[in-house]
Amino acid sequence: MSSESLAMTRRTMGPELAKLAEEHMKHDLQQSDRDALQKAARTVSTHASVGSLLGLALGTFLAFRLRSNRTALFKAFQHAEQPTAVRFASGKETPLPDLRSAMKPSALGDVATYCLLGGGGLFFGGETGLLTGTFRARQQIGADRDGRDRIQRAFRRFQADALRRQAKLLEEEDKGSILGL
Q: Is residue 108 domain-resident?
A: yes
Is 8 contained in some domain? no
Higher pLDDT, 147 or 48: 48
DSSP 82: -
173 pLDDT more than 80: no
pLDDT confidence of 175, banded at 50, 70, 90? confident
More confidently predicted of 135 and 6: 135
Average pLDDT over residues 152-161: 89
Q: State whether residue 51 is helix, strand or coil.
A: helix
Higher pLDDT, 153 or 21: 153
Q: What is the pLDDT of residue 8?
A: 53
pTM exceeds 0.75 for this model: no
Instruction: Considering only residues 87 and 14, tell me which one the structure prediction assigns the higher pLDDT.
Output: 87
Tell me whether residue 2 is in a domain: no
pLDDT at 98: 83
Does residue 52 form part of some domain?
A: yes
- Give the pLDDT of residue 113: 93
What does the pLDDT look like over 1-33, one tens digit per residue?
Answer: 566 566 556 554 567 777 777 787 787 888 888
Rounded Cα–Cα distance for residues 75 and 140 (Å): 54
| Domain assignment of residue 3, yes or no | no
Q: What is the pLDDT of residue 44?
A: 93
Domain count, the chain: 1
The average confidence (pLDDT) of the chain is: 85
> What φ, ψ does residue 99 adopt, rounded to 5°?
-95, 0
Q: Residue 10 falls within a domain, yes or no?
A: no
Q: Residue 54: inside a domain, yes or no?
A: yes
Other Cβ atoms closer than 10 A to 129 = 24
- The arithmetic mean of pLDDT across residues 57-84, rounded, is 91
> Which DSSP symbol is given to 5?
G
> Would you place residue 82 in the very low, low, confident or very high pLDDT band (cuts 50, 70, 90)?
confident
Domain that holds residue 99: 15-173
Is residue 181 in a domain? Answer: no
What is the percentage of the chain residues whose pLDDT exceeds 70?
89
For residue 153, how many other CB atoms are within 10 A of its CB?
13
What's the average model confidence in pLDDT over 91-119?
Answer: 89
